[in-house]
Amino acid sequence: MPVSLRKNWFRYTVALCGVAFVTALFQVGIAEVNSTTVALSFLLVVLAVASTSGLGPAIVCSIAGMLCFNFFFLPPVGTLTIQDPQNWVALVAFLVTAATASQLSAAARHRARDAEERREEVWKLYQLSHAIIATPDSETAVSSIARQVIEVFGFDYCAVFVPEGSRWDRVAIAGNLSADPAPTEIEHSFLTGEIQLPHANVARSGEETAGRVVLTYAPLKFGIRSIGVMVLLSPIIERGTIEAIAGLVALALERARFLKAGDLTIEIAERRVTLSGNEVRLTPKEFDMLRYLAINSGKVVTHRTLLQAVWGSQSTEQTEYLRVFINQLRRKIEPDPQQPRYIITEPWVGYRFDPNGWNALLRSPPQMVRHTCNYYAFLEQQPSLDK
């Protein structure tokens, strides 16, 4: 028997046991009790069941309580008939009160559960956005975005597709899937800009869900423009949550396509660089160098690493060759190539791309000397620790 079915049977059994307990208590334990006390006791059981088990068990508890109230406590006792019209009023009032109270309690419980789910979803979205922003390498952020979605939301499968000519290029994947997502569904979601939920896919294809994987297709939009499609295999999740996840994934894709540092703009996919709005013409190797430094923004890239990334493993020792290309690149993108703002030299190590373009000012030799002299003058003014 499935776990959910066992839980439902347990809830209904607990509801009936509560009615049986109240009935036995006033039949055996407490004698000569009035009908008002019995009705209020049954009502307490109904409220307890509604607050813990939901509306269904509470309704069953109300009906069982009404029958026991009639059979055991309203004259003639031992029958389901009622002689006194006032007892009819009491019985109907009990049933209506129990049903209304159970509905109100179940509704409050449902709202509390919804609020808790909303808080959990907001927290998960925050975790996902933080993971994207905290990844300094834009390409790594794209390749790992599917894994991050699965880890945060507990999905079974996630893949990200972007259009590449007449085909779909899968840029990120995580999880296991028995069959690849249908290109027609990807194309439909991309063109319509609408989320394709599992029930919508089944209705359009006319197939049964048994024996096949049913996926969710969500377009990735940056503004009003679709830039890709996210495919999910997940439990039931609200459309708004899927839209929020898709928005964060689209942000990661756009971040990888478009890098901006001060007045310098690097468009990865188009291999285009602009400086203050004016296009800068770079050779393929110059662009590859700038791209590699930019996607590792803030990190020190060694001579060997940069040579291997741009020219291959056979050129890892040609540091003089690298300096020539770096100087050529600086003359094209730096306002003052003698005091570079973007491509910073790390002596005897390599280079670092500074996206803010101002840290370089602190590295100019005159200012370094001035800061050093000021630091030693400050130390001389301090009292000696030996005194």
Q: From CA 164, how far away is CA 341, in angstroms rounded?
A: 35
Q: What are phi and psi of 8, to 5 degrees?
A: -65, -45
Query: How high is the pLDDT of residue 241?
Result: 86
| 201 in Cβ contact with 194 (< 8 Å) | no
Q: Where are the domains of the chain?
A: 3-113, 138-256, 264-369
Task: Note the helical H segments in 134-238.
Answer: 138-143, 145-153, 183-192, 198-205
| 353 in Cβ contact with 342 (< 8 Å) | yes
Query: How high is the pLDDT of residue 132?
Result: 74
Query: How high is the pLDDT of residue 260?
Result: 67
Query: How high is the pLDDT of residue 154?
Result: 85
| Other Cβ atoms closer than 10 A to 203 | 10
In the three-class reduction of DSSP (H, G, I as helix; E, B as strand; rest coil), residue 229 is classed as: strand
Paired sense of beta strands 225-233 and 216-222, if any = antiparallel
Query: How high is the pLDDT of residue 331?
Result: 92
User: Shortest CA distance to 290 belongs to which of 282, 278, 300, 302?
Assistant: 282
Q: Strand (E) positions, 64-166?
A: 157-164
User: Shortest CA distance to 248 belongs to which of 228, 273, 263?
Assistant: 228
Place of tokens 């049913």: 214
What is the residue-wise DSSP string for 26-38?
IIIIS-S--HHHH
Model pLDDT for residues 4-27, shown as the tens digit of each residue:
556 678 888 888 898 899 888 888
And the tokens for 93? 């009032």
| HSE value, Cβ hemisphere, 13 Å, CA-based, for 214 | 18
Nearest-10 Cα torsion for 128, 177, 219, 221 = 40
| Other Cβ atoms closer than 10 A to 257 | 17
Q: From CA 233, how far away is CA 217, in angstroms rounded?
A: 9
| 50 in Cβ contact with 24 (< 8 Å) | no
Residues 6 or more apart from 332 whose CB is under 8 A from it?
280, 281, 282, 286
Model pLDDT for residues 351-384, shown as the tens digit of each residue:
998 876 644 333 333 433 343 344 334 344 444 4
What string of pLDDT tens digits covers the 387 residues of the chain? 455 556 678 888 888 898 899 888 888 877 777 877 888 888 888 888 877 777 788 888 888 888 888 788 877 788 877 666 766 776 677 777 777 777 777 788 788 888 888 888 888 888 888 877 776 666 666 778 888 888 888 888 999 998 877 788 888 888 887 778 888 889 999 989 888 887 544 434 334 343 345 789 999 987 788 889 999 987 777 888 888 898 888 888 877 666 666 678 887 767 888 888 888 899 988 998 888 888 777 789 999 888 888 888 777 777 888 889 999 999 999 888 888 888 999 988 899 988 766 443 333 334 333 433 443 343 444 444 333
Q: From CA 163, how far away is CA 23, in angstroms rounded?
A: 69
Predicted TM-score (pTM) of the model is: 0.50
Q: What would the CATH number be for the domain defined by 138-256? A: 3.30.450.40
Q: What would the CATH number be for the domain defined by 264-369? A: 1.10.10.10
